[in-house]
Amino acid sequence: MVKVLVVEDNKQLGVSIKESLEDEAHVVDYVTTGLDADSYLKSQSYDLIVLDWNLPDIEGVDLLKTFRERGGQTPVLMLTAKANIEDKEYGFEVGADDYLAKPFLLRELIARTNALLRRPAVYQDSILSIGHLTINATKKLARMGDKELELTAKEFALLVFFVKNEDETFSPEALFQRLWSTDSDSSPNTVYTFINTLRKKLAASGAPNLIRTVYGQGYRLDSEALGQRPDV
């Protein structure tokens, strides 16, 4: 699951962008100021940043410059009403990956974000497989052998995350930070609920020991429970 930070001071536009990205099954954090965005970028990891140039406290391009100077590599889509080529050149110079001029259609924003997410650094493989488990990330389908798993969006996101990080252990807090939006009404305790329901569905499909508890540390996907990877 992709996690996106949207920074836009126009609340009507910002909420529309947030909802459009959530319709793409992305986790979205939304803030309206550069200072809040900087705080989020220091404490959270994102796959994509949608950043308005004109913010009420600091300019988005200055926030971007600071982020890149700290070593931030996340792709950034700049939103701007500026038409001057010199401004755009400066934006690219300090680290923007793409521009979208206001006003714009949300369809175009989604198309541009999808293009940025297809770049190698953040590209998510469409097909993932370990043993008898196969996941189609594009179609949001998971199968255990010939049996399709009936998963909620969050259960699917958890399973994909575990498969991509097989045999690594994650605390409930780490899973919550990665797969839930920062302004979620939920808490890390919610992770326990989704882990338990995912385990039950995996057990019913023939993989009862796939997600193991590492006491005092968290959870991990035990690839040995699925046998060897199929030959590619």
Domain ranges of the chain: 3-117, 127-226
Choose between 173 and 118: higher pLDDT.
173
CA distances for 173 relative to 41, 153, 170, 176, 179, angstroms: 17, 19, 8, 5, 10
Residue 189 pLDDT > 60:
yes
- CATH number, span 127-226: 1.10.10.10
Residue 27 pLDDT > 80:
yes
Residue 149's CB: how many other CB atoms inside 10 A?
19
Residue 230 pLDDT > 50:
no
- CATH number, span 3-117: 3.40.50.2300
The distance from CA 97 to its chain's CA centroid, rounded to whole angstroms, is 18
Mean per-residue pLDDT, 192-220: 89
Rounded CA-CA distance 199/195 in Å is: 6
Residue 90 pLDDT > 90:
no
User: What percentage of the chain carries pLDDT values higher than 70?
Assistant: 92
